[in-house]
Structure 1
Amino acid sequence: MPRSPLALAALATVAVPGLDAFDVRRPVHPGTDFDIAVVVDANRRRWVVRAPVHAAAGAALEAEAVLLDGLARASEAGTLPFAVPRPVGFAHLPEGGRAAVHAEIPGVALDVTRLVPGPGMCAAVGRAVAAIHELPVSVVEDAGLPAYDAQEYRARRQSEVDEAARTGKVPPTLLRRWEERLEDVALWRFQPTVVHGDLTNERILVRDDEVTGILHWGDASVADPADDLSWLLVAAPPEVADSIMEAYQLRRTELLDPYLTERALLAGELALARWLLYGVRSGDADVVADAVEMLEDLDAHTRPVPVGPAAATEPVPAVGSLV
């Protein structure tokens, strides 16, 4: 059973001595792995309390806490142009594990549908993502989080595709296309970087044409930078995505990755395979049905389209169908 806001407020007062809770409310995007509440103290300061709902989330929170300490130092030094949710206190939970409390970062979740191309918010988002990828990999390694080289990461993606294929629920033409891209050695020659690992518009806080913070770092690793870019190529209008990518590339140093965008688009497609596998592993028929519907839609929009007497040899991009 989810913890009530009052129960979470009580945890916050334990985690932060002297915190006098005046009000408590649920956040707009609460998530599924944590019970979350925003606690307002008597001085109108706002605090976020997160309590894991299962053991895996608890383990992720502990690893994330170490990482956030390093990221906060990078933010204070100006290496990261945004804030991160640095924990200021913890409260032990009866079932094991700990709840964490951090000061709320000002801003609202990024709305990509309201972005306009140019040097404003688009550029800020591109620079923020690039700054993550410019961090030293030791920030992640010192926190005990995963680090992969390019071929190890490619093998992980191949394993996911193989497991998805065994479900019998992925259209054959889609499987063949994925396998061809995974077998293309040139596509997978990239320099691994620090990646957020679960970057979406809801993780990015903005205000006044600036990125103020990035949340939820529990899936961070050293891996393919394309993964952090896939969400915007799927969700943002093409001209907006172009502006973000231009700012991103200008912020990166020595970026020699001609297949970055292609891998990012592929990562967006493979996210559907992982959603399918999540539904199968958890026995959630609704998730499976949702994944199958999206996979079939993707397949329908990436099949060759007849042009005159012959068929086109290149598939039609389907990113718009996934929004």
Structure 2
Amino acid sequence: MDEVEVVVAHSERATLRVGDVFLKVDCDQARIDVEVEAMAMVPVPTPKVLWRKPPVLAIAAVPGTALGRLGEPSTASPAAWASAGAAVRKLHDAPVPPRRGRAGRPVDEVAAELDTECEWLVRNGVLPADLVTHNRRIAEAALRPRTPVFTHGDLQIAHVFVDGDEITGIIDWSEAGHGDALFDLATLTLGHEEHLGDVVAGYGADIDLDLIRAWWSVRSLLVVRWLSEHGFDPFEPGCEVDVLRSQM
């Protein structure tokens, strides 16, 4: 019998793997609704939905291996990273959905959350004030008007699967909707700046790299507290705190 592997688990949701089946348990059925709908719409490979019985969604494993993991060197080829960029461009060129995704949050809302998190990080001595202040200044560039596109919203490299140089599937669509294209590109390359050029080459458009770096600061500042409170360590080598330090 296949063993049950706990892929991720915290107070909001859990994902289990049994053989070639992933079971996603989520207390918020709206997230599952978004995921199922997005996977049916997008022009890129996604997992097959096997069945759904709230609060559980069963999906098939996609072939291949993850493009990489935050905090670890990626063993994927430059061509695989370029293929990821090309897949993201295909997504961004798709018809824009009506729903706002995580990458489309209003600028003033993101700015307010940034200020709250920066104040918390400094007040509680989690990070040095100069590190937080410098990255908050960099982050400001990302808070600008943008033309919305179809975005994944949580395009971590662990959510992109490859076989050789080809993309075999993109998973975890619960944050999908219209939003800022550069948010996706920044999330994909977070902690892997050495592959930014490969992704941009595959994406095939002029990209303001300073805005990518601005989104690196935004994402890292916003998640340090959440990660720490949900059993993850943003201080691991190569992870969010190291990303903030690399911006200095």
> Compared with structure 1, are the counterparts of its residues 133 and 172 closer, same or farther at alpha carbon in structure 2 (3 Å cutoff)?
same
Aligned length: 236
C-alpha deviation, 1:110, in angstroms: 1.4
SS in 2 for 1:100: strand
Q: Which residue of 2 aligns with 1:34?
A: 14
Task: State the match for 1:110 in structure 2.
Answer: 67
**Contact 1:171-1:296 within 8 A present in 2 as well:** no
Give the counterpart letter for 1:204 in structure 2: V
- Do structure 1's residue 100 and structure 2's residue 57 form an aligned pair? yes
Query: Residues 69 and 86 of structure 1 are in contact (CA less than 8 Å); yes or no, is this contact kept in structure 2?
Result: no
User: Cα distance 1:136–1:175, how it changes in 2: closer, same or farther (>3 A)?
Assistant: same
Q: 2:174 aligns with which of 206, 212, 218?
A: 218
User: Which of 106, 120, 123 matches 1:153?
Assistant: 106
Q: 2:52 aligns with which of 62, 87, 90?
A: 90
What per-residue deviation string (whole Å, max 9, x for no partner) do you get for residues 175-195 of structure 1? Answer: 43344445559x724322121
Question: 2:24 aligned to 51, 55, 67, which one?
Answer: 51
User: Quick check: 1:146–1:221 contact (8 Å CA) kept in 2?
Assistant: yes
Q: Is structure 2 residue 229 aligned with structure 1 residue 229?
A: no
**Consecutive unaligned residues in structure 2, runs of 5 or more:** none
Contact 1:171 1:295 in 2 (8 A): no
Note if 1:173 corresponds to 2:130. Answer: yes
Q: Which residue of 2 aligns with 1:199?
A: 155
CA distance in 2 between counterparts of 1:274 and 1:107 reads: 31
Q: Do 2:63 and 2:168's aligned partners in 1 also have CA atoms closer than 8 Å?
A: yes
The structure 2 residue matched to 1:127, chosen from 56, 62, 86, is 86
Give the secondary structure class of the aligned counterpart of 2:161.
strand
CA drift of 1:104 comes to: 2.6
Deviation at 1:55, TM superposition (A): 1.6
Q: Are the structure 2 counterparts of residues 147 and 137 from structure 1 closer, same or farther at C-alpha, using a change threshold of 3 Å?
A: farther
- Equivalent residue letter for 1:38: V
Structure 1 runs not aligned, ≥5 long:
1-22, 40-45, 75-79, 92-96, 304-323
Compute the displacement of 1:170 (Å): 4.5
1:116 and 1:109 map into 2 onto residues whose CA distance is 12
- Describe how 1:297-312 pairs up with structure 2 within 5 A: 301-303=246-248
Q: RMSD value over aligned CA atoms?
A: 3.3
Secondary structure of 1:229's match? helix
Secondary structure of the 1:113 match is coil
SS of 2:106 mapped into structure 1: helix
Greater relative contact order, per chain length (Cα 8 Å cut-off, separation 6+): 2
1:301 CA displacement: 4.9
For the Cα contact (< 8 Å) 1:24–1:37, is it kept in 2? no
Amino acid of the residue matched to residue 105 of structure 1? Answer: V
Q: Deviations over 1:151-210 (max 9, x none)?
A: x6322321121111331244333443344445559x724322121111122111111310
Instruction: Provide TM-score, normalisation by structure 1.
Output: 0.61
1:64-98 per-position Cα deviation (integer Å, ceiling 9, x unaligned): 11222223xx3xxxxx3xx212323223xxxxx33
- Kept in 1, the 8 Å contact 2:83–2:165? The answer is yes
Residue 226 of structure 2 aligns with which residue? 278
Is 1:266 the counterpart of 2:214? The answer is yes
Deviations along 1:252-296, whole A, 9 cap, x unmatched? xxx6xx53x22221222222322233157x4x6x768849xx777
Percent of aligned pairs sharing the same letter: 18
Classify the secondary structure of the residue corresponding to 2:175: coil
User: Are 2:22 and 1:61 aligned?
Assistant: no
